[in-house]
Amino acid sequence: MNKILFFKLSLYYMFPKVTVFMAAYNAAKYITEAIQSVLDQTFEDFELLIVNDGSTDETVEMISKFHDPRIRLLHNDRNRGLVYTRNVLLKEARGEYIAILDSDDIAISNRLALQYEHFQKNPELALCGGHGKVINHLGEPIETPRLTVPLGSENIKITLLFWNTFVNSTVMYKKEVLLELGGYREFAPAEDYELFTRIADKYVVDNIDAVLVRYRDHDHNTSVVHASTGSIKVHEIKKNQLNRLHIEANQRLIEVHYSLLVSNFQQFNFSDYLSLFSKIKSANRKLKIYPEDTFEKWLYDYWYTILMIKKPKGNALALLFNSGLFKFKYMTAKQFRKSFKLSLRGIGTISR
């Protein structure tokens, strides 16, 4: 090999455009497919950084079967947990961009190419994700709607106030943004959602209208294994979101906010949701965080959705019109018809 070619290859491996990051803990069952999906990418200017977090199964053996110079395998001194392992990125990633892929998921072959191109077209962008296709433990598609995420930066920022609007295994960050914000905080297993909210507070975020990953749904998903801890941490995130809006949130208000994320609407009254939305609307008018008209139309639509789900036993139209969220320009003909029919049914129920 001549010196010029050697020098070019050295730069290629030392300064890749993208670092694909994979945290691995007892991932032997699925990690081979995950790694191969990265190596099969149509975009080739990447490194695959795998951090073994104290695995006790054959994870390391599975990784060692690959002989590709783009793979770097590092080891924690013991099982450190997901946040510590993800933050190894802050010291070790060589790429300008960081792409996350969980060790049990499979990247679509043009995933990196699509995201890298999107970043080049949108230099102000800090975070980019996409849709996911759900598969089972055997890698087979299951009869579940695909993980469809919202599109457009402003829409995503609004939606993040209520839900996690990114599939973590699809996201790509600018490394400099991750460094500036100090990486992941102790919110596992919801550390990704917490980071997304901080990024969206300061920067442009987006999703690509394409499936970027096959997301594996199985009994050992982190969100399943640590469900109770996740609930506690997401409650903290909800509190922090309200605090950033300068809303003094009591425990009930936090619980109401959390119920929107888990779609558990029956636990609370209409007045609870109206109180939350009214406080958020008022706060945004003062702070100008979200575009006023777009945001208030979004709140109105969400209020309408809650009415349709909870089905008030009185006049649905009265609740809709007198909510403090209503404007005639927000209401569609379809919404009026549905609300009117629901009101008639409610009146009939009361009369009986």
Average pLDDT over residues 209-228: 72
pLDDT over 90 percentage in the chain: 71
Would you say how long the chain is, in residues? 352
Give the model confidence (pLDDT) of 17-36 as tens digits.
999 999 999 999 999 999 99
* Band (225; pLDDT cuts 50, 70, 90): very low
Q: What is the CATH number of the domain that holds 141?
A: 3.90.550.10
Same domain, 200 and 55: yes
Domain that holds residue 96: 12-224
Same domain, 197 and 303: no
Residue of 341, 286, 337, 352 whose CA lies nearest to 315: 341
What is the rounded average pLDDT for all residues in the chain?
Answer: 89
Does the residue 160 lie in any domain?
A: yes
State the residue for tokens 């695959």.
48
Same domain, 184 and 268: no
Residue of 92, 33, 32, 83 whose CA lies nearest to 53: 83
Same domain, 46 and 194: yes
Same domain, 169 and 257: no
Give the model confidence (pLDDT) of 35-78 as tens digits.
999 999 999 999 999 999 999 999 999 999 999 999 999 999 99
How far is the C-alpha of 323 from the C-alpha of 305, rounded, in Å?
13
Return the pLDDT at 311: 81
Three-class secondary structure of residue 30 per DSSP = coil
Does the residue 125 lie in any domain?
A: yes
* Band (256; pLDDT cuts 50, 70, 90): very high
Return the pLDDT at 5: 47
What is the reported pTM? 0.88
How far is the C-alpha of 315 from the C-alpha of 307, rounded, in Å?
10
Does the residue 130 lie in any domain?
A: yes
Same domain, 52 and 123: yes
Does the residue 120 lie in any domain?
A: yes
Same domain, 283 and 137: no
Same domain, 59 and 129: yes
Does the residue 127 lie in any domain?
A: yes
How far is the C-alpha of 240 from the C-alpha of 210, rounded, in Å?
31
Does the residue 231 lie in any domain?
A: no
Q: Give the sign of the dihedral formed by CA 134, CA 135, CA 140, CA 145.
A: negative
Same domain, 71 and 173: yes
How far is the C-alpha of 299 from the C-alpha of 158, rounded, in Å?
10
Average pLDDT over residues 89-110: 96
> How many domains would you assign to the chain?
2
Same domain, 210 and 263: no
The distance of Cα 141 from the centroid of its chain, to the nearest Å, equals 21
The distance of Cα 234 from the centroid of its chain, to the nearest Å, equals 13
Give the model confidence (pLDDT) of 116-128 as tens digits.
999 999 999 999 9
| Residue 143, Cβ density class (10 Å: 0-12 exposed, 13-18 middle, ≥19 buried) | exposed
Does residue 219 surpass a pLDDT of 50?
yes
Three-class secondary structure of residue 128 per DSSP = strand
Return the pLDDT at 337: 81
Tokens describing residue 324: 């403090």
| Residue 178, Cβ density class (10 Å: 0-12 exposed, 13-18 middle, ≥19 buried) | buried
Does the residue 282 lie in any domain?
A: yes
Same domain, 184 and 272: no
Radius of gyration of the CA atoms of the chain, in A: 23
Return the pLDDT at 317: 75
Same domain, 203 and 273: no
Does the residue 321 lie in any domain?
A: yes
In one-letter notation, the amino acid at residue 51 is V
